[in-house]
Structure 1
Amino acid sequence: MSDTASAPAARHAVVAAALDLFAAQGFEATSVEQIAQAAGISRSTFFRQFGGKDDVVFADHELLLDELRSYLSQPHDNPWAAVCEASMWVFKQFTADPELARRRYSVVRGVPALREREIVTVFRYERLFDEYLRESLPGLDPIDAVGFAALVTAVHNHVLRQLLRGTKRVPASVLRRALDDVMRRYGVHPHGTDAAPDDVVVAVFPRRMPSAEVARRLSEHLG
């Protein structure tokens, strides 16, 4: 048996082998020894690289989260767009191997403990985006930061589920259009485009009026 599973291709092979076994004989009935044997690595290498059976299911997410932290730590002219680009990048990683993504989805749906961990994992993406926006835009209302992060994450997951629950390809352009709409909802124009003349609204409100009431009235009048 090989004692290396650190390279991306090798890690991907171990994840694929594990998911194949989980799908064929069930998560609980599959042992670490069986996964290691199917992947061609030692049991000790599996534990060193992944930790446990549930960890191997979410191994891709751990790598993605680390890579997103690195991406968001770089300078970006438009933090809102940077969050959307991060979401796009994650989507493209999963659509690169849709069959593997579908097998993972099927396994997770059938194991309550994995579903709970999936919820926590989704929240980690949302929290990463939220914290990045607050750091990048000093003075930003925390509600706007968490709201944008939550909406981007929810839209991403909605489009991704279209891929996971079906058999057809879902192009990245579907998510791109949805995320562009998210930015417009927050008054941010995607791709650095300027607002059209009829896209600007000037309104006057009493200084003491709560911002939430201002937003409510604007929403009411703008439909």
Structure 2
Amino acid sequence: MSDAASSAAHDAVVVAALELFDRQGFEQTSVEQIAKAAGVSRSTFFRQFGGKEDVVFADHEAILQMIRDDLARQHSDPWQAVCEASLKVYRHFAADPVLARRRYAVVRQVPALRDREIVAVFRYERLFDEYLRQALPGLDPLVAVSFAAEVTAIHNHVLRRLIRGTKRVPASVLRAALDEALQRFGVAEGAESSPDDLVVAVFPRRMPVAEVARRLRGNLPS
């Protein structure tokens, strides 16, 4: 089977499974029913997914790897890189809000799925935290984990507005909220500062030392 055909079959299973879960319940839906509705064999289902729970969270593994690969590249501004990663995840789910809302309806009805969703969210947060520590040597770990947690929380809040409602919530809403977070952490490019907020002429006192060092390295002649 070609990559395109395999991807199409994968997507068909996800759509069919979520429709069945939403209509007749997660526990009441069998693998055989999902495979039949998706037009694939039972063996194909288990080749693509480990079980029914994996179908619900099928996107997460692929998205996490995509974000991991993106962050592994060179970025001039690690703080913005984390925000851009959050936006990329949001755009993925916002591209098909009907599917995202159906997934949400299924997850909130099954405690085991809600627990797994919490774990999935934490994996994004940990990925952002680890990236910042690696990209900004010397960064206070508390700053890294705090920024990672805030970005993740903002993302989840805006995503819930999308999936709990019926209207489109553009990515610009998330972008504006993330820009405010950058301002709060003192790492926004061109952030305004009062004289009392400066350690040296151009850096806010609240800016992490690792970020000051990064900007100095990037702007001072070698």
Q: Is the 8 A contact 2:49 2:55 kept in 1?
A: yes
TM-score (norm 2): 0.85
TM-score (norm 1): 0.85
1:11 aligns to what?
Answer: 10
What is the letter of the counterpart of residue 115 of structure 1? Answer: R
For residues 74-223 of structure 1, what are the structure 2 equivalents within 5 Å?
A: 74-189=73-188, 193-196=189-192, 198=194, 201-202=197-198
Q: How far did residue 10 of structure 1 move?
A: 3.0
| SS in structure 1 at match of 2:198 | coil
Deviation by residue 1:156-177 (Cα, 9 ceiling, x = unmatched): 0000000111000001000000
| SS in structure 2 at match of 1:177 | helix
Find runs of 4+ consecutive structure 1 residues off by over 4 angstroms.
Answer: 2-6, 197-200
Q: Is the 8 A contact 2:21 2:29 kept in 1?
A: yes
Structure 1 Cα separation of the partners of residues 54 and 168 of structure 2: 27
Alignment length (residue pairs) = 201
Q: How far did residue 195 of structure 1 move?
A: 3.3
Q: Is the 8 A contact 1:80 1:188 kept in 2?
A: yes
Deviation by residue 1:31-87 (Cα, 9 ceiling, x = unmatched): 001111111111111111111000000000111001011000000001110000000
For residues 61-76 of structure 1, what are the structure 2 equivalents within 5 Å?
A: 61-76=60-75
What is the letter of the counterpart of residue 195 of structure 1? Answer: A
Pairwise CA RMSD: 2.1
2:38 aligns to what?
Answer: 39
Compared CA separation, residues 48 and 6, structure 1 to 2 (3 A): farther
Deviation by residue 1:94-119 (Cα, 9 ceiling, x = unmatched): 00000000000000000000000000
| Unpaired stretches in structure 1, ≥5 consecutive residues | 205-210, 212-223
Q: Is the 8 A contact 2:56 2:103 kept in 1?
A: yes
Aligned-pair identity in percent equals 67
| Unpaired stretches in structure 2, ≥5 consecutive residues | 201-205, 207-222
Q: Is the 8 A contact 2:183 2:191 kept in 1?
A: no
Q: Is the 8 A contact 1:4 1:41 kept in 2?
A: no
Structure 2 Cα separation of the partners of residues 167 and 177 of structure 1: 21
Q: Is the 8 A contact 2:18 2:56 kept in 1?
A: yes
| SS in structure 1 at match of 2:75 | coil
Q: How far did residue 202 of structure 1 move?
A: 2.6
Structure 1 Cα separation of the partners of residues 174 and 19 of structure 2: 28
Q: For structure 1, which segment, 9-18 or 91-100, has the greater mean C-alpha deviation from structure 2 after superposition?
A: 9-18
Structure 1 Cα separation of the partners of residues 115 and 146 of structure 2: 22
Structure 1 Cα separation of the partners of residues 176 and 34 of structure 2: 40
